[in-house]
Chains A and B, each alone.
Chain A
Amino acid sequence: MSARSTAAAVRAGERSARSVVEEHLAVIDSHEGEIHAFNLVLADEALTRADDLDRRIADGEDPGPLAGVPVALKDNLCTRGIDTTCGSRILEGWRPPYDATVVERLAGAGAVVIGKTNLDEFAMGSSTENSAFGPTRNPLDTSRVPGGSSGGSAAAVAAGFAPLALGSDTGGSIRQPAALCGTVGVKPTYGRVSRYGLVAFGSSLDQIGPFANSVEDAALLLEVIGGHDPRDSTSIPEASPDLLGGLEQGVEGLRIGLISELMGGPDQAASVEGIADDVRARVEQAAEALAAAGATVEHASVPSTIYGLSAYYLIAPAEASSNLARFDGVRFGLRVDADTAAEMNTATRTAGFGDEVKRRIMLGTYALSAGYYDAYYGKSQKVRTLIQQDFARAYESFDLLLSPTAPTTAFPLGDKTGDPMLMYLNDVCTIPSNLAGHPSMSVPFGSGDDGLPVGVQVLAPALAEATMFRAAAVLEEAAP
C-alpha cells in the first residue's frame, strides 16, 4: 500500500495508525536480521506515537498528509533525546538536544518515525560498508551492497520496513542507493529543504531528500519537508513546491536532453568511463519512452561534467575537514583521555573515526593547506563555476536532462572497499547536480543483465522539481 493511500485510510478512520505501525514492525522483525537497514528501531516510540495519532483522529483531529505513515530516518538527522550516530564511534551514545527541521515537519504532518537507518560513516561512501556498525545489505540480493551513503534508508524502503525514508545527498548519496535498491530517490534543489539538524558533511553540497516506492509518494514526502526555514541561512525563501498537483501532466512538448558525457558509450568522444552497457541500454530505452510520450528527446552536451568527480573529491573533503573539526572530545560523544587537551583531541579522533573519514579529512586538509590551496581547492571551485555555466547553456535548449544514476547495478560486498578511487567512481553521474546546486532524481527503469534494478537520473534546473517529477512519473509508468 502506498504512503499516500495509507495516510488517506488513517485520516478517514478506516484503519488505525497502530495497525500500520504493527504491520511494518512485523516485516522488520522478520527480515532486519539479514538486511541491517537500521542502527536503531524505535518500536516502542512508534507504537506510542501511533496510539496518540489514533486518539487524535477519534477526537476529530486531522494529523496531516502523512497520518500514521512510518518513516525511516538516516542516522545523521538529529532526533531530540534519541541516539544519532552518523554511523560513527565518535558519536556513539550521543543524544541531540534538538530535532532537525525535517523531523519537526514530519511530526507536524502526522508521520511516525520508525527508526534510524544505517549509513556510511558521516555519509562518506557509496556502499554503506563504511559504517562503524557493520554494512547494510541489498534486500534484492543480500550478497550485494545497497549503495550509499544512505544505504540503510534505501534498503528500508525496498524491504518494506517503511514506505518512506529520508536520506542526505552530498554527491549522490540518495540517488545512487535508490538506483541500486530499485526505489525512487530525490535530491532537491540546494536550499529547498532545510539542513538544520543534518550533521554537516559538505555544507555547500548537502541536501536532504526522500526515498519512496513510487514517484507520487516521493512527491508527497518532499512537499512535507520542503520550504523555507529561518534556521538555515542557505534555505531558499519560498514555500514548498506543489508536486502532486502536476504529476499527471505528462511530458508532451517538453524538451529533454540525454547527456552525452555521462553515457560512456563507444560513440561518445569525451565521456566518463565505466558506464555498463546494460545500464546505458536502459537509459536509452527510457529516452525513447519519453519521446513516445510526446517529449522532444535529443543528445545534449554538458562538457565539463566529466571533471565533476575530480572537483568534487577535493571540494567535499575540504568542507568535511572543516566541518569534522568539531569532533574533538570536548562537547559531545567519545572522549579518549590524555594528559593534555591536544593529546586528548588527537587520541579521541584517532579512535573515533574510521578509515574513510580519516582519508577525506586528510585529503581536505591537504587541499586547503598552504602551497596547495590554489592548485587543488581553488581550481576545483572554478570547475564548479564551469559546470554551472555548462548546465545553464544546456538548459537554454532543454527543460530536463537525462543520464544513468549509477554506472552499474548493485555490486558485491567487499568488491571496492580496498580501492577508494574505484568506489568514488560510483558517483560520477550524480556529482554534477550537487556541484551546480540543481535538483535531480533517480527512477527505477527495468533491470540489468544480472536482474538487479537500473536507475535513470532525471536532472532539472534549480527549482524545477515539478517538471522533473512529471518526467519521473512518465518513466515510472513506462518502466519495463
Chain B
Amino acid sequence: MTATPRLTRDDVAHVANLARLTLTDDELDAFTGQLADVLDHAADLEALDLDDVSPMANPFPLVNVLRADEPGHDDVRAEILAAAPSVEDGQFRVPPVLGEAP
C-alpha cells in the first residue's frame, strides 16, 4: 500500500466514531500504533500482481438457498423480549432516536 499513508490518530478517531466506540486519549495513542503495525505488515501484499485475479468472498460459490414454503408456528417472541435490556408493550424500548424524549 505504497500509495496509502501510515494510519494516523485522526484516522483511528474517525473509525472509532463510525464503529460507535469512544476512546480515551491514551487508548487512541495505543490503538493507533497497534493498528498501524497490522497495516504495515499487510504492505507485503504490495508485492503481488493481482490485476487479473478475481476477489473471493466465500470459499465455495454461493447459491440462493430456498426452503419449502410450509406454514409453521415458531413463537419465541416472549423469550426474545425477555432477553432484552428494556421492553414496553411487546417491543424493544430505546432512548429517543430523534428529538426530545416524550
A residues at B contact (CB < 8 Å): 94-98, 190-191, 204, 230, 233-234, 236, 304, 306-307, 309-311, 313-314, 321, 328-335, 337-347, 349-350, 353, 355, 358-359, 361-363, 365-366, 369, 372, 375-376, 378-386, 388, 419-421, 424, 435-438, 462
Contacts and interface: CB of A to CB of B under 8 A. Distances in A.
Closest 3 pairs (CB-CB, A-B)? A437-B59, A381-B55, A335-B85
15 contacts: A190-B60, A310-B45, A311-B42, A331-B84, A331-B92, A333-B83, A339-B95, A339-B101, A343-B95, A347-B22, A362-B12, A366-B7, A376-B39, A385-B55, A437-B60
B62 A234 contact: yes
Contact of A330 (B53, B54, B65, B84): B84
Nearest to A205: B59
Contacts, number: 170
A362 B31 contact: yes
A341 B96 CA distance: 6
Contacts of A339: 95-96, 101
Given A366-B11, A437-B60, A420 B48 contact: no
A361 B21 contact: yes
A381 B94 contact: no
A314 B22 contact: no
A438 B15 CA distance: 33
Interface in B4-25: 4, 7, 11-12, 15-16, 18-23
A347 B20 CA distance: 8
B45 A383 contact: yes
Contacts of A314: 42
A349 B17 CA distance: 11
Interface string B29-55: 001001101110110110010100111
A361 B86 contact: no
Contacts of A340: 95-97
B76 A98 contact: yes
Given A233-B65, A335-B86, A380-B45, A436 B59 contact: yes
A204 B50 contact: no
Contact of B56 (A191, A385, A462): A385
A366 B35 contact: yes
B88 interface: no
A433 to B, nearest CB: 10
B60 A328 contact: no
Interface of B: 1, 3-4, 7, 11-12, 15-16, 18-23, 27, 31, 34-35, 37-39, 41-42, 44-45, 48, 50, 53-60, 62, 65, 67, 76, 79-80, 83-86, 92, 94-97, 101
B69 to A, nearest CB: 13
Nearest to B86: A335
Given A94-B83, A358-B19, 13 more contacts: A190-B59, A234-B62, A332-B83, A332-B84, A333-B83, A341-B96, A341-B97, A346-B20, A350-B21, A355-B27, A362-B15, A363-B38, A421-B34
Given A310-B42, A420-B38, A386 B53 contact: yes
Contacts of B53: 382, 385-386
Nearest to B101: A339
A424 B38 contact: yes
Nearest to B58: A204
Contact of A345 (B20, B42, B76): B20
Contacts of B3: 375
Contacts of B31: 358-359, 362
A385 B44 contact: no
A409 B21 CA distance: 36
Nearest to B7: A366
B54 A385 contact: yes
Contacts of A309: 41
Contacts of B45: 307, 310-311, 379-380, 383
Nearest to B24: A350
Contact of A388 (B27, B59, B84): B59
B85 A329 contact: yes
A339 B48 CA distance: 49
B35 A359 contact: yes
B34 A462 contact: no
Contact of B59 (A204, A347, A383): A204
Contacts of B59: 190-191, 204, 388, 435-438, 462
B28 to A, nearest CB: 11
A375 B99 CA distance: 39
